[in-house]
Structure 1
Amino acid sequence: MDKRTNRVQPIRLSPDFFPLDIHKSMFINDLMISIPAYYVKSWSLNILSQHGSDNCKWEVDIKYTSPKELGQKTYTFKAKLTLANSKKRNQESNYRLKWSNEFAVQLAKDYPKSFVRSLEFHIGDEYYKNLQYTEFDIGGFKEQLQVKIKWENNKPTVVMKEFFRVRDEVQGFPNVFKELSSYLIADYLLSSEDELLRRIQVSDWKNRGEINKEINENNIYILLNRQTKEVYFGETKKSLSKRYPDKQEHHSFEDWNEYAVIQLPPETSDHTRLLIERVLIATSSKIFPNTLYKGEPVLNDKNGLTLKNKKK
């Protein structure tokens, strides 16, 4: 204990560990970290020389210890260490550690302030990009773990423990962060399939003139012309009123006069939203006449719609 009142000496970085900033990818979507190249270089040449295309994936145990303030409880979680095959990077820069949702939940419980900040950055993605903010520009703090990867007989073991955590009494609103974190864990990390589906909102068909009223963001949308029997599927991070302002023509399908919106949960990533759009287009190309794929669709222009998308 520091002799000055209410001050505690910081936890020291243990030998053979590296510091890890707690960030969004540890909680949301990826559930993964990259192993620093400088740390990989500390492994022996004998270990690294055994790794390659035929030896690049390892099932590992993460031996995790909770923060000192939370009793330093020990847990074991399953994870996977991989050596990615990227020609643009050298071997030392290609190691990734990916874990299960269970470990993400534990981290969110133990580091609630970082978890809430990560969600803020995730949900406000476009806003913070426009400000040119990084995740760590929000809140003025950076919590850290320390990590060690030990190799024995070509099998790695991972150890993680506290390096720096914002103490409860200086978090500003510790009880709010704790309770809010618990709610968000349930809502974002532990949602059942039914709960996720309930957060997907599907509108009725609406006339084109109503699009300026659409203010919700993160959407899949459908444009339709019943008279010409044409349909178009799209995705947008923006609201539809911003995606299609008054009098702006559409690049592929100008003659639409109706639309429907499928609003996705706010935590849906740009990658996932784009993937949903691509799946809808690919599926529709097998059903409706189109210019994207060769082959006879299930329906023709007499008994079905024509798909107006021009990009796969």
Structure 2
Amino acid sequence: MTTPTAEITLRRPDDWHLHLRDGEMLKGVIGDTSRHFARAIIMPNLVPPVVTTSDARAYRDRILAALPAGDRFEPLMTLYLTEHTSADDVEEGKKSGLITAVKLYPAGATTNSHGGVRDIEKAMPVLERMAKIGLPLCVHGEVTTPEVDIFDREAVFIDTVLDPLRRRLPELKVTMEHVTTSDGIDYISSAEKNLAGSITTHHLIINRNAILVGGIKPHYYCLPVAKRESHRLALRKAATSGDARFFLGTDSAPHVDPLKECACGCAGIYTSINTMSCLAHVFEEEDSLDRLEAFASLNGPAWYGLAPNEERMTLVRQLEPVAYPAKIETGAGPVTVFDPMFPLHWAVAG
């Protein structure tokens, strides 16, 4: 590893996959995002989900109302794809400038996804319209059939769902969100057009041992679940490569501790508060600090057809570790912060 850089400045980053929840939880976590990120793609898996443009407009209003005073942040809204989604409503949402993407959750794949798509044929009219109007599809890339091992869900999804869909609708722009496997990295890297992938903070840092070795660690449990070390290394190589098809989507997903620390704990890791420190650490380890801006600030806007942010952020490498709280308190209850299991020396200075 090279001699550490004392300071780096980059364009203000964006988060291309974020869970803000709603109500008291939204009020408790939004500041950790708006403090550092200019924009974020907001996940629609609320209860009930955000399925229409009207739902998205109301949710956006609640997000903006919860912002800390003085923060500059733009929520980029998505719709939750169902087998009954209206193609006309989706098109109107895009035309209005409100809707940035539509999200495909295979039914049962993750938190609040029971209303997702079971038969993709029933969603084809919407997908065909999206391909026509240039609206991206964000996918949770896992199958949920019980005979498929949880560690193989992503690879099977690529073979049985995603690749056939892309062959059928080659003009459909697809974001494969929170890629977790070398299979996903290789598939995206082989695509000539209309396919990109977001990578989370935590999947660059943990493998499945973090969840299982020395006792079950619920605060490292997420979906898609962390995989083998070989997959983690493939993710790090892609994220730090400068390849424009890969960009940051934290998938920061807050749950109150009682719902994580129980017999059937929720999937999700809360990383919004310390993501930039974690990323600087990872990119420094990979001798790629000069590519952090591409991953966090440039590749995502280019993919979604937006200009990069003009504001800048400075990260300073300090001698003493940055002091992040172990938990944050929200009106909904305590939320444990992601612990990368090493000290973080990169601090956001501005």
TM-score, structure 1 as length reference: 0.21
Between structure 1 and structure 2, the one with the greater Rg is: 1
Greater RCO (CA < 8 Å, at least 6 residues apart): 2
Higher helix share: 2
